[in-house]
C-alpha cells in the first residue's frame, strides 16, 4: 500500500480507518502501522484529526489487536509453535519475553515483527492476561505517541 493511498484513506475515513487498520495490522496482516500513525500525526498537525482522539483510537485499537493475537496464541499455541518455531523473530521474541517479561511487551512495539510475535508468544507461554494487557496499553500509548509525534513534526516542515 502506497503512502498516498494511506493519506487518502485517513483523510476520508479518519478514526475508523486508524482503528480498523491498527487492529488488523497487529493481528498480523501486512498493514504498515508506523506509516499509518505517522500520516495520522500529519493530519493532526493540519487540523483534520484531533491529537486526543487519534492517540485514544490508536491505543485502543492496538491493544485490541494485541489482545486478539494473545487469545489466538493461548488457544492455538501448539499449532502456532509448530508453524513459527524456526523463524528468527519467534525465537528472539520468546527469549526476550523469558528474560525481560513486561519490558519485552512494552518495548517490543518498536521492533517490527517482534511486536506481532510477542502477543502470540505471551499467549502461548500463559502470561497472565491482566498483567499482559496493562503492559500492552502502556506500550501502545508510548509507541503511538512516538509515531503520531513524528508525523506531527514532519507536518511543520511542510
Concatenated DSSP letters for 101-149?
THHHHHHGGGSTTHHHHHHHHHHHHT--HHHHHHHHHHHHHHHHHHHHH
pTM of the entire predicted model: 0.87
pLDDT digits (tens, 9 = 90+) for 19-29: 999 999 999 89
Computed from CA positions of residues 111, 138, 30, 78, in that sequence, does the dihedral angle turn out positive or negative? positive
Over residues 113-155, the pLDDT tens digits come to: 778 888 988 999 889 999 999 999 999 999 999 999 999 998 7
Domain boundaries, the chain: 3-156
Amino acid at each position: 500500500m502506497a503512502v498516498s493511498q494511506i493519506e487518502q484513506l485517513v483523510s476520508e475515513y479518519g478514526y475508523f480507518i486508524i482503528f480498523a487498520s491498527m487492529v488488523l495490522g497487529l493481528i498480523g496482516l501486512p498493514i504498515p502501522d508506523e506509516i499509518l500513525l505517522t500520516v495520522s500525526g500529519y493530519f493532526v498537525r493540519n487540523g483534520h484529526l484531533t491529537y486526543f482522539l487519534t492517540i485514544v483510537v490508536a491505543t485502543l485499537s492496538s491493544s485490541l489487536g494485541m489482545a486478539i493475537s494473545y487469545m489466538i496464541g493461548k488457544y492455538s499455541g501448539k499449532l502456532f509453535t509448530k508453524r513459527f518455531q524456526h523463524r528468527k523473530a519467534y525465537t528472539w521474541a520468546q527469549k526476550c519475553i523469558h528474560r525481560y517479561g513486561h519490558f519485552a511487551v512494552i518495548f517490543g512495539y518498536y521492533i517490527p515483527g517482534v511486536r506481532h510475535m510477542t502477543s502470540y508468544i505471551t499467549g502461548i507461554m500463559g502470561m497472565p492476561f491482566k498483567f499482559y494487557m496493562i503492559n500492552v496499553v502502556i506500550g501502545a500509548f508510548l509507541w503511538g505517541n512516538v509515531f503520531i509525534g513524528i508525523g506531527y513534526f514532519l507536518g511543520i516542515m511542510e
